[in-house]
Amino acid sequence: MGANIMAKYIGEEGDACPLAAGVIVGNPYDMHKVIKYLDSQSLSFSKFYDIAILNFLKTAFKDNQAQILKAPVKLDAAKIANASSIMEFTEEMTRKVFGYQSAKDLLDYSSSKNYIDGIKIPVLFLNSLDDPICIKSLIPFEKFANNPNIVLALTEHGGHIGYMHGIWPTSWIEYPVSQFFQSALNHYISRGSLYSGKNENMVHKTWTTKDEEPIKEK
């Protein structure tokens, strides 16, 4: 769930975020609710993802079991290996390893919806309404309405990071992504607010939705 991690990071960093802009595709926003949703599905495409994610987690545990069981908490290897849902796996292992009282506590803390207010750089969020994982009801529309630094783009189709088109299907997602980054770059350049600092890989930026001149920092 890289989209959720990236959105959370940008929001947590706020004004200190070293990135100049960001694009978040297929973000679930609410980790607790999305996992409850996936675990509750039976005969649907969403169940495919639920099974795939759970199997991935179990495989990761099996491959690293010796190291994980060294954690200074009591873990039941059998319960972890036999977990029948993502939520059960999270409850039996992940939340214990990271010191949370419950799986819900961990997932609520990890949900990027709680950090969207803190985003201070231009960010494009792109979600499809037929996404079998990141369903429409989890999109925090009010957060987007109250933060001028972010844009929410919705498509009727696209699935979970699919966005295919053409007779011989190829993904079109790179086009709006590159256009957004180019627009952000052009904005910074036009305002004279991009320059290299001591770290040649870092970019200094000044982002504003108003027309005033950016503050020149020393």
Same domain, 199 and 98: no
Percent of the chain with pLDDT over 90: 67
161 domain residue, yes or no: yes
Dump pLDDT digits (tens) for 114-133: 999 999 999 999 999 998 88
Nearest C-alpha neighbor of 161 from the set 11, 55, 4: 4
Percent of the chain with pLDDT over 70: 88
Dump pLDDT digits (tens) for 62-85: 999 999 999 899 999 999 999 999
User: Does 204 have pLDDT greater than 60?
Assistant: no
198 domain residue, yes or no: yes
Residues 6+ apart with CB under 8 A from 88: none
Same domain, 102 and 194: no
- The answer to whether the predicted template modeling score (pTM) of the entire model surpasses 0.85 is no
Dump pLDDT digits (tens) for 84-118: 999 999 999 999 999 999 999 999 999 999 999 99
Residue 143 has which token pair? 């957060």
Distance CA(26)–CA(181), nearest Å, equals 17
Of 110, 132, 154, the residue at which a domain comes to its end is 110
Tell me which residue range forms the domain holding 165. 2-30+111-204
Same domain, 82 and 95: yes
User: Does 8 have pLDDT greater than 70?
Assistant: yes
Nearest C-alpha neighbor of 138 from the set 162, 164, 107: 107
User: Does 21 have pLDDT greater than 90?
Assistant: yes
Same domain, 101 and 76: yes
In Å, what is the CA distance from 43 to each residue of 47, 48, 101, 192?
A: 7, 9, 32, 55
Mean pLDDT, rounded, for 136-141: 94
Same domain, 117 and 200: yes
Same domain, 18 and 42: no
